[in-house]
Each structure stands twice: as structure tokens, then as C-alpha cells.
């Protein structure tokens, strides 16, 4: 049975986006059934109504509250359905794009993707892996000014996804050929 991949792209650029090119190459390399989530189609930010609905026990939610959480529920279902999550993201201003942060806010839900225990939060999305394709113009991935890759590793781990690989085409404005060649070589070694 083919593996299910959740393919997320966070770049605002629809054309000439390096992170989109890398994530597509990863998905092609892995093969399988693909659930596509393009964050260039904006997701709503969480609001007071969303927070209230989220913290209302499911059996007590009104129709309006269920409607408020419907998109978030779909996003969570996509995560549960996938074995591998492929995220293509640029680094914007040293961090993740706002669209990717909005997605994270909508999927990090107590009782659905993590739970609280006596020893702290426990991720519920175990047994999955994530591959993050990151592109940056000048920020070196893994450096002290990279607030994207560490944040994504932390959030995925918080949700229970601890098998995380980062493939970077970083500092493209300094040496594009070297950055892209290195990223493509890493992708070509990925195991399905």
C-alpha cells in the first residue's frame, strides 16, 4: 500500500520558489498518495471565537463553534492521515512565513495532536516523519540567526513527530549553484 504524504508549501511565491521546487522534488522522490496543502491560499488566524470553541468540550460545542473549528479539524485530519509530512518553506526575516505559523496554530490542539500529562505535554502524532525543505537568501540554516528550522523541529516534536530531516538550500544569494546542488544531492539519497 502506498505511503500517504502531506505536502505543505509555505512560500508566498508561486513561481520561481526554491522551497516549492525542493518540496516537489522530495514528494516525487518518495512517491505515494499525496494530500496537498498550499499555504499561499491564506489560512485564517486564530481568534477569540476559535479559542473559545477549541476549549469548549466537543459535546458542548454549538453549531457555530463546530463551524469555527471545521477547517482546523480538516488540517488535523490531514496530519493524522499522513505517514510523512513534507514542508517546503522559505526563511522570511529569519523565521517561518506567517502562513506556516497560522497552520501550526490551527493544528496544535490539545486532545487531537498533543495531550497534557503529569510530566508535561505529550505529542500524539508518533510514528510519522517530517522532511523540511528550507530555502534562504542569506540566512545559514542552523546558525544563530536561523529561527525557522529549530522552531519547526521543536513544534513537530511537540506534536510527536521526532523523525525530522532538514534539507536546506541556504544562502542562495551568496552561492546559488552550491546551495541547490547540495540540496538536490540530499534529496536524491532519501529513502521512500
Residues 139, 94: contact at Cβ < 8 Å? yes
Confidence of residue 101 (pLDDT cuts 50, 70, 90): very high
pLDDT at residue 83 in the model: 98
Q: Which three cell numbers stand for residue 72?
A: 482546523
Give the residue among 73, 156, 60 at the shortest CA–CA distance from 112.
73
How many CA atoms lie less than 13 Å away from 131 in the CB half-sphere? 26
pTM as predicted: 0.96
Q: Which among 5, 96, 108, 99 has a CA at the least distance from the CA of 51?
A: 108
Buried b (16+ CB within 10 A) or exposed e, 162-179: bebebbbbbbbeeeeeeb
Domains by residue range for the chain, with CATH: 4-188 (3.40.50.360)
pLDDT at 9 over 80: yes
pLDDT digits 0-9 by tens, 122-140 = 999 999 999 999 999 999 9
- Mean pLDDT confidence for 15-31: 96
- Summarised one tens digit per residue, pLDDT across range 25-66 is 999 999 999 999 999 998 999 999 999 999 999 999 999 999
- pLDDT tens, residue by residue, 139-181: 999 999 999 999 999 999 999 999 999 999 999 999 999 999 9
**Cα(89)–Cα(24) distance, integer angstroms:** 12
Amino acid at each position: 500500500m502506498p505511503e500517504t504524504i502531506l505536502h505543505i508549501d509555505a512560500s508566498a511565491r508561486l513561481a520561481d520558489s526554491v522551497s516549492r521546487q525542493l518540496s516537489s522534488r522530495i514528494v516525487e522522490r518518495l512517491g505515494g498518495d499525496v494530500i496537498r496543502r498550499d499555504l499561499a491560499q491564506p489560512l485564517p488566524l486564530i481568534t477569540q471565537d476559535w479559542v473559545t470553541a477549541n476549549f469548549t468540550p466537543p459535546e458542548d460545542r454549538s453549531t457555530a463553534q463546530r463551524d469555527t473549528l471545521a477547517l482546523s479539524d480538516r488540517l488535523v485530519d490531514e496530519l493524522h492521515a499522513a505517514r510523512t509530512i513534507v514542508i517546503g518553506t522559505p526563511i522570511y526575516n529569519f523565521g517561518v512565513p506567517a502562513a506556516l505559523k497560522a497552520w501550526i496554530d490551527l493544528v496544535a490542539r490539545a486532545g487531537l495532536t498533543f495531550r497534557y500529562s503529569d510530566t508535561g505535554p505529550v505529542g500524539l502524532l508518533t510514528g510519522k516523519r517530517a522532511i523540511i525543505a528550507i530555502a534562504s537568501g542569506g540566512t545559514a540554516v542552523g546558525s544563530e540567526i536561523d529561527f525557522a528550522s529549530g522552531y519547526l523541529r521543536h513544534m513537530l516534536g511537540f506534536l510527536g513527530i521526532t523523525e525530522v530531516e532538514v534539507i536546506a538550500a541556504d544562502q542562495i544569494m551568496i552561492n546559488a549553484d552550491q546551495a541547490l546542488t547540495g540540496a538536490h544531492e540530499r534529496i536524491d539519497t532519501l529513502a521512500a
